[in-house]
Amino acid sequence: MTDRDDLVRFLNEDIPAGDVTSDAIIPDISCTAIIRAEQNGVIAGIEEASMLFSYAGVTVTPHKNDGNRVRKGDVVVSLSGRAKNVLLVERTALNILGRMSGIATRTAAMVAIVNAQNTSCRIAGTRKTCPGFRRFDKKAVQLGGGDPHRMNLSDGILIKDNHLALVPLGEALRAARHHYAYKKIEIEVESAADAVKAAAAGADIIMLDNMTPGQVRETLSVLEEKGLRDRVTIEVSGGIEEESLREYAACGVDIISMGALTHTVKNFSLSLEIQPVAPGTE
Amino acid sequence: MTDRDDLVRFLNEDIPAGDVTSDAIIPDISCTAIIRAEQNGVIAGIEEASMLFSYAGVTVTPHKNDGNRVRKGDVVVSLSGRAKNVLLVERTALNILGRMSGIATRTAAMVAIVNAQNTSCRIAGTRKTCPGFRRFDKKAVQLGGGDPHRMNLSDGILIKDNHLALVPLGEALRAARHHYAYKKIEIEVESAADAVKAAAAGADIIMLDNMTPGQVRETLSVLEEKGLRDRVTIEVSGGIEEESLREYAACGVDIISMGALTHTVKNFSLSLEIQPVAPGTE
Amino acid sequence: MTDRDDLVRFLNEDIPAGDVTSDAIIPDISCTAIIRAEQNGVIAGIEEASMLFSYAGVTVTPHKNDGNRVRKGDVVVSLSGRAKNVLLVERTALNILGRMSGIATRTAAMVAIVNAQNTSCRIAGTRKTCPGFRRFDKKAVQLGGGDPHRMNLSDGILIKDNHLALVPLGEALRAARHHYAYKKIEIEVESAADAVKAAAAGADIIMLDNMTPGQVRETLSVLEEKGLRDRVTIEVSGGIEEESLREYAACGVDIISMGALTHTVKNFSLSLEIQPVAPGTE
Amino acid sequence: MTDRDDLVRFLNEDIPAGDVTSDAIIPDISCTAIIRAEQNGVIAGIEEASMLFSYAGVTVTPHKNDGNRVRKGDVVVSLSGRAKNVLLVERTALNILGRMSGIATRTAAMVAIVNAQNTSCRIAGTRKTCPGFRRFDKKAVQLGGGDPHRMNLSDGILIKDNHLALVPLGEALRAARHHYAYKKIEIEVESAADAVKAAAAGADIIMLDNMTPGQVRETLSVLEEKGLRDRVTIEVSGGIEEESLREYAACGVDIISMGALTHTVKNFSLSLEIQPVAPGTE
Amino acid sequence: MTDRDDLVRFLNEDIPAGDVTSDAIIPDISCTAIIRAEQNGVIAGIEEASMLFSYAGVTVTPHKNDGNRVRKGDVVVSLSGRAKNVLLVERTALNILGRMSGIATRTAAMVAIVNAQNTSCRIAGTRKTCPGFRRFDKKAVQLGGGDPHRMNLSDGILIKDNHLALVPLGEALRAARHHYAYKKIEIEVESAADAVKAAAAGADIIMLDNMTPGQVRETLSVLEEKGLRDRVTIEVSGGIEEESLREYAACGVDIISMGALTHTVKNFSLSLEIQPVAPGTE
Amino acid sequence: MTDRDDLVRFLNEDIPAGDVTSDAIIPDISCTAIIRAEQNGVIAGIEEASMLFSYAGVTVTPHKNDGNRVRKGDVVVSLSGRAKNVLLVERTALNILGRMSGIATRTAAMVAIVNAQNTSCRIAGTRKTCPGFRRFDKKAVQLGGGDPHRMNLSDGILIKDNHLALVPLGEALRAARHHYAYKKIEIEVESAADAVKAAAAGADIIMLDNMTPGQVRETLSVLEEKGLRDRVTIEVSGGIEEESLREYAACGVDIISMGALTHTVKNFSLSLEIQPVAPGTE
């Protein structure tokens, strides 16, 4: 339900003191409108856009569901209501749809590449999201078939290099296990030796950071040897691009997390087209 | 001052119920830390990141100013304070710096291309920003040397195709001029004929939407002929990419606005590295 | 849409912990009620009052529209609903209607005086509004036929005496034009010489501050002589009272702005009268 | 402490997206400034204005205290700090000072008139305040020597004509006394007979609404006769103007409440004058 | 109306980033559900729970009203709607009902004990409530038949020991009476002598703090003797437990206030049971 | 950092329109004050109380740390500052300390009982907290040595009876594991058979709900037999009181969660005593 507050804040960001253009020139008439995909991909943000149009008194008819594949030219949503209100929400709704669909489309592409190699390997997001838009970035990753990873610093334990600069690995894992019974414990390591140490000390998830595919394969085989592979989930992370994805997936890791899914987003192209409603025909 | 509320909200988004990792494993010790650029570009977001670290009681020493060019490896900011507090703000600060610097860096590149052709031609942003992050996206455009364009629907009059689907161009311009004495009036047109009509009817800025460079040149020469060129500012917009930028700039337009500056952002890469402070040496 | 939050905050200001009188003595019955004008004038605030009564579950029937002229005794709005809810909103709604109608009524009177002299001269408000009520004060000025002037410090450039104490006029205008392509630039001057300098330097609007009608006439004729009159909009401001209004309007200025429209408001008198609904007749 | 939030909201109302004038033209320099009274009266709002300037990092030196009498030309507050920050707060601070001092000045004048007749008679405000500014309007009444009356609908029991249209007087008083042991009960009556009924039924305060001075005197003598005068506080209210004030005070009532103190405010005139600080002399 | 904001905040406290369990496993189906009392007592919080379920789009049918006595097994509320939404609100609604009903049940028991001794003696709450839940704690006291006492520090004057450590009793009472005409004045005393002094100086309510029943009886008889008993309301307070209640009530005091009503709450036991709705039978 | 907003909201709840008692009677003087424990136990809330006093400009010296054992009469915190400000925060601070210390004290007692039987068995809280005070209730459980369990519905997966009324156990576990890689999965079961099924299907934590100690022992031995005991964490829950705690702990479970820790709190008794500072001695 907190989404609602966020969405209304996004809208208000665009209208601190009304819509001066509509106030000056648009009469009090009704219109219909259509939001159309201008490219192929996975659509996301329909729920959010619909909420905002409804909030402004516009009737919304979704033609697609969030997570659906759409093709260029497909109608995503149709609208009818007071013309001023459609214009008021237009840009905010398109910004939400454009970013979320961009993320979902890219995630889905990454998932497809990975699953072609390894059907049980997941693509995950990170916390490298646009400030203030986190929950929508994460939802878009999910709609594209990815795992959102932890939502925030309260959500899960992840011991990273900067923690390990302050506390030794073994001590950190002991303290974390002692502190929480209900949370999985993830730790970032940079060598096979540390991966073994972490698995032996009871880590649930081990993130292999900035390793080459070769180093990943080696780490997995050492864990296997020591009988520790089954106890832990293995995630790889750190500068993984579309090109190297296939190779990492083929190593047999469980999860590949990619910051670029949400920190370097290509907007998904959509248009909104308004038609006046002839008086009397409404 | 409203920025402060937004920044604190961004931080709170990451810690709805504390930082569970630090709570479990990090002792109450001091640290120093350094934020470093991991690529070349224009840095932006130092003011915002500094505000957040200060808010969390961390002492901040900026080594660069917002808008400065930085090179890979440059220290941008150094920090000292309670280790838990540095860790608390780390991701939010890097997300802000990464997005804002990404926008500033790209804008500066576009400005350089355009100014090589036409020193009086400006690059401008649009309202295609990340919802909730508008003011920071716009500030980053400015830091990169661009014009922020209107901040929101309250900020300026821009009569677009969806308005003109509801009200004829002449009537729209008359109503706008009658309504506001203090605001410039911009109108989007798709033909040279409409550009002439708009200029004659008193538009202050004419946006040539989705025109080819050829169409832009023709429109400008028709306006020149009719003695209307000097009365209006000419903006071009609509799907302009890095490749075509040079050609548009050479046409002699006043402003080129690009949605991609803020809707399709490439994150600027930075790192934060923590060092413990040995007790007694503090 | 942000208006809604403001209005609800106004209501909550009156009921931090419920309505203790109604809680103690009013049974759970229905009522009808009527809001009546107790003087002649221009009504404003109906949209806001209606929103609040609706928010509290009261059915509202407006008998007038915002901006309409009303006469003493006219019914402005009729209400029906739970008696407790009508009582809850009563004072807040009347306070809004009383202030907004007071402003609209006074503005309309000023506009009538000015237009009798000069049909193209406008009356404008200022930012001298009641803190927290700005947007409603400004809307009331518009409903009375006035121009709201800039809404806030983000809305337009106005270079005033305190700016000019820090930066020379020419430099200020150059910097402003360089900084924004999308905003008109207004500057306050106190002499004909500065008015000429400002017009020549590209100011869009020149505010003649605290000039006598004689000084205004002289300034206009100097601008005319230099061929600069048509390039600029001329506003007069500063302690203009009802009495001197006619004379300023006759000078041929474009806008007269008056702080008193919103800083020295005479409340518009209205009453709210409740009738119980006999059970069974509802 | 909630005042702080309100004051910051007032400031933010003026700067939804920064101060575009200062951003464009004001360099990063220091200044001093002086706020001066431009008329005689009672100053109010210094605490609020000081809080806002401090919030913006400006150093404030008050030369007067809230509630002090000031004369035209007196320095009220002096300021020093970053020029941009002084300019940012200027209008909001002056609006607060202007309205609050206007209310305090008028209240003090009314108190002086009344006390010349009757030293124990009080002037009180009402809830007819500017929406969103209630607490500051009430504080200004107090600083002028008046009684704020109830702050809001949660603050005290006041049974008015609209309540009595729904519940008989006796029943209303009984219910109120039964409901609350900790609150005084006030009731509005329109006849001497109802005043007697109310006093007998245990009302603590009786408001004589819209009575002429003659009717007030008669009501007081009937109460005296019945031995009820000492049990109750007598308030008169309803359209009391400056002219009739003396006469009401002379009747021997305890309180005279006046809506006009806060619904029809004459702004108190103040100015703010900035001086640049020469670099090196700071 | 401010309750609504509080209730939504309570709900959002439980779902900062959605309900991860439902999101993962619950299909988009409808359900019915029943909230049942699991003990005897006085129910409170139905209005609040209903508001929250409605807010989440669930249809609510109350079977009891707030303040009603219920028996173990009674259905309090029945629900129907989207299963995910019922689950979303379940815990927050039960927490509200459990705490409020616990308070109302305990208050009603105390009222019954007291009234068996003295029908005109009231039980009152204090400000010792759970931070953030004040208004609901107070409402629950009222639903149990108690007096809420003052809601907050703005609501009434209560001069306590810590005030009297700073200002002498007589002076404090004089200042309070001078300051407010509309508020009752309560003072806490620890001896019969101070009670007499306070009554003589015009206190409306005297709180006998931490006195034994014997000391209370003595104080009352001294006040009686001096002819001051009828002028004041007598409240006893301070560590009064269920056991001593009867004896204090028998003394003839007007009010007994008990911090334990809200600071030491026994949760009222309720259950919520969900039934799926077979598709097609809805 | 969000704690700060909550704490300020708690304070503002007590002062919607100022502290009317202090405003009327307390001069502008300084004081010192002491907060003292009035019973033995574990103190909690010092950080929160200190934050609030500091926020109000009062200097705070803590004499204990959160989580420390205190004895009746111990000074917990000493204060010095403006008397009005100490009085402003007094009640809110004591309410926070009283509730949090009450919870911590009770939790510590339960932990001691359990650990006497089984040093590896933990006591955990639930989400049965006071609405709006969740994070402080949970923190108090931790300070008393307990595990906070999940903070909210976003924080962890817990499949309960109401979920299982809608989805079969096996399907629910499959869906949960498929949905999240980063979260532990807990499920509530009511029989040994379901415990086995859950453990086999990959649940991380199994909550044995409302089982007698005998049933718990049987379930554990069945799990042991099937070789599943080591794979899962076993929690018991449901109406466990102080008396039965020992017996459950002796069964060999890993966690015992108790709603009563936060839904049925006994306030911890503290006092605040003010001393005026003689002028000149400050």
Yes or no: say if E170 and E201 are a contact pair by the CB < 8 Å rule: yes
Q: Which residues pair with F234 in a beta bridge?
A: F206
Contact E91 F153 (CB under 8 A): yes
Catalytic positions of B are: 91, 128, 160, 188, 209
Whether residue C133 has pLDDT greater than 50 = yes
CA–CA gap between residue F220 and residue F224 (Å, rounded): 6
* Dihedral sign computed on CA atoms, order D49, D54, D59, D64: positive
Contact F154 A155 (CB under 8 A): yes
What is the model's pLDDT at position C282? 45
**Token duo for residue A178:** 């002692």
Instruction: Identify the band that residue D17 occupies on the pLDDT scale cut at 50, 70 and 90.
Output: confident
**Per-residue pLDDT reduced to its tens digit, F37-76:** 999 999 999 999 999 999 999 999 999 999 999 999 999 9
Catalytic positions of F are: 91, 128, 160, 188, 209
Whether residue A279 has pLDDT greater than 80 = no
Q: Which residues pair with B276 in a beta bridge?
A: B31
Instruction: Identify the band that residue C2 occupies on the pLDDT scale cut at 50, 70 and 90.
Output: low
Contact A9 B265 (CB under 8 A): no
Yes or no: say if E198 and E219 are a contact pair by the CB < 8 Å rule: no
Q: Best of A12, A13, A88 to disrupt the C interface by mutation (most C CBs within 10 Å)?
A: A12
**Token duo for residue B212:** 């080819």
Instruction: Identify the band that residue B5 occupies on the pLDDT scale cut at 50, 70 and 90.
Output: confident
Facing F184 at nearest CB: one of A122, A147, A184: A184
What is the model's pLDDT at position E281? 55
Eight-class DSSP state of E124:
E
Q: What is the mean pLDDT of residues C213-236?
A: 96
What is the model's pLDDT at position B1? 58
Contact F1 B17 (CB under 8 A): no
Facing C132 at nearest CB: one of D10, D20, D127: D10
Q: What is the mean pLDDT of residues D267-274?
A: 98
In chain E, what percentage of residues exceed pLDDT 70? 98
Rounded to 10°, the helix B46-55/B2-14 angle is 70
Contact C16 E1 (CB under 8 A): no
**Residue E226 known to be catalytic:** no
Residues of chain C whose beta carbon is less than 8 angstroms from a beta carbon of chain B are 122, 124, 147, 149-151, 154-156, 180-184, 186, 204-205, 233, 254-255
Whether residue B147 has pLDDT greater than 90 = yes
Instruction: Identify the band that residue D282 occupies on the pLDDT scale cut at 50, 70 and 90.
Output: very low
Eight-class DSSP state of C231:
G
* H-assigned helices in chain D: 2-14, 20-25, 46-55, 83-117, 134-143, 161-164, 169-179, 192-200, 213-225, 242-250, 260-263
Whether residue D279 has pLDDT greater than 70 = no
**Token duo for residue F67:** 């989580």
Whether residue E2 has pLDDT greater than 60 = yes
Contact C17 F17 (CB under 8 A): no
- Give residues with Cβ within 8 angstroms of A280, minimum separation 6: none
Whether residue F281 has pLDDT greater than 80 = no
- Search chain D and give the residue with CA nearest B2: D12
Tell me the residue type at D29: I
Q: What is the mean pLDDT of residues A178-200?
A: 95
Q: What is the pTM of this model?
A: 0.94
Query: Of these residues, D69, D82, D128, D174, which one is catalytic?
Result: D128
Give contacts of A91 with chain B, Cβ < 8 Å: 127-128, 153
* Chains contacting E (3 or more CB pairs within 8 Å): A, B, C, D, F
Yes or no: say if A113 and A51 are a contact pair by the CB < 8 Å rule: no
What is the model's pLDDT at position C208? 97
Q: What is the ipTM of this complex?
A: 0.96
**Per-residue pLDDT reduced to its tens digit, A5-61:** 899 999 999 998 899 999 999 999 999 999 999 999 999 999 999 999 999 999 999
Q: Which residues pair with A188 in a beta bridge?
A: A207
* Chains contacting B (3 or more CB pairs within 8 Å): A, C, D, E, F
**Per-residue pLDDT reduced to its tens digit, A229-252:** 999 999 999 878 888 999 999 999
Residues of chain A whose beta carbon is less than 8 angstroms from a beta carbon of chain D are 16-17
Q: Which residues pair with C112 in a beta bridge?
A: none
Facing A16 at nearest CB: one of B9, B152, B162: B152
**Residue D188 known to be catalytic:** yes
Residue by residue, DSSP assigns B53-115 as HHHTT-EEEESS-TT-EE-TT-EEEEEEEEHHHHHHHHHHHHHHHHHHHHHHHHHHHHHHHHH
- Search chain E and give the residue with CA nearest F169: E25
HSE at residue C67, side-chain half, CA atoms within 13 A, is: 7
CA–CA gap between residue D149 and residue D233 (Å, rounded): 13
Q: Chains B and C: how many Cβ contacts under 8 Å?
A: 42
- Search chain B and give the residue with CA nearest E13: B16
Task: Using alpha carbons, select from E26, E82, E75 the residue that is nearest to residue E54.
Answer: E82
What is the model's pLDDT at position D278? 72
**Per-residue pLDDT reduced to its tens digit, B98-128:** 999 999 999 999 999 999 999 999 999 999 9
Residues of chain C whose beta carbon is less than 8 angstroms from a beta carbon of chain F are 16-17
Whether residue A1 has pLDDT greater than 60 = no
- Give residues with Cβ within 8 angstroms of D213, minimum separation 6: D244, D247, D248, D250, D251
- Search chain C and give the residue with CA nearest B231: C231
**Per-residue pLDDT reduced to its tens digit, E10-57:** 999 999 889 999 999 999 999 999 999 999 999 999 999 999 999 999
* Dihedral sign computed on CA atoms, order E215, E216, E220, E223: positive
- Give residues with Cβ within 8 angstroms of A147, minimum separation 6: A122, A123, A124, A125, A141, A255, F180, F181, F182
Q: C233 by DSSP, 3-state: which? A: strand
Query: Of these residues, E91, E177, E184, E229, which one is catalytic?
Result: E91
Q: What is the mean pLDDT of chain B?
A: 95
Give contacts of A16 with chain D, Cβ < 8 Å: 16-17
**Per-residue pLDDT reduced to its tens digit, D51-83:** 999 999 999 999 999 999 999 999 999 999 999
Give contacts of C55 with chain E, Cβ < 8 Å: 1
**Per-residue pLDDT reduced to its tens digit, F86-97:** 999 999 999 999
What is the model's pLDDT at position E3? 86
**Per-residue pLDDT reduced to its tens digit, D208-220:** 999 999 999 999 9
Contact E254 D181 (CB under 8 A): yes
**CA of C228, closest CA in chain D: separation in Å?**
24
Yes or no: say if C68 and C262 are a contact pair by the CB < 8 Å rule: no
- Give residues with Cβ within 8 angstroms of E208, minimum separation 6: E189, E190, E195, E215, E216, E219, E234, E235, E236, E237, E253
In chain A, what percentage of residues exceed pLDDT 90? 90
- Search chain B and give the residue with CA nearest F154: B16
**Per-residue pLDDT reduced to its tens digit, D82-125:** 999 999 999 999 999 999 999 999 999 999 999 999 999 999 99
Contact F155 A155 (CB under 8 A): yes
Yes or no: say if B59 and B79 are a contact pair by the CB < 8 Å rule: yes
Facing F11 at nearest CB: one of D1, D135, D151: D1
CA–CA gap between residue B132 and residue F42 (Å, rounded): 43
**CA of A229, closest CA in chain B: separation in Å?**
24
**Per-residue pLDDT reduced to its tens digit, D228-252:** 999 999 999 987 888 899 999 999 9
Facing E181 at nearest CB: one of D154, D155, D233: D233
* Chains contacting F (3 or more CB pairs within 8 Å): A, B, C, D, E
Give contacts of E135 with chain C, Cβ < 8 Å: 17-18
Whether residue E148 has pLDDT greater than 50 = yes
- Give residues with Cβ within 8 angstroms of F131, minimum separation 6: E10, E13, E92, E95, E96, E99, E132, E133, E136
Instruction: Identify the band that residue C17 occupies on the pLDDT scale cut at 50, 70 and 90.
Output: confident
Task: Using alpha carbons, select from B260, B182, B177, B196 the residue that is nearest to residue B234.
Answer: B196
Whether residue E282 has pLDDT greater than 60 = no
**Residue C128 known to be catalytic:** yes
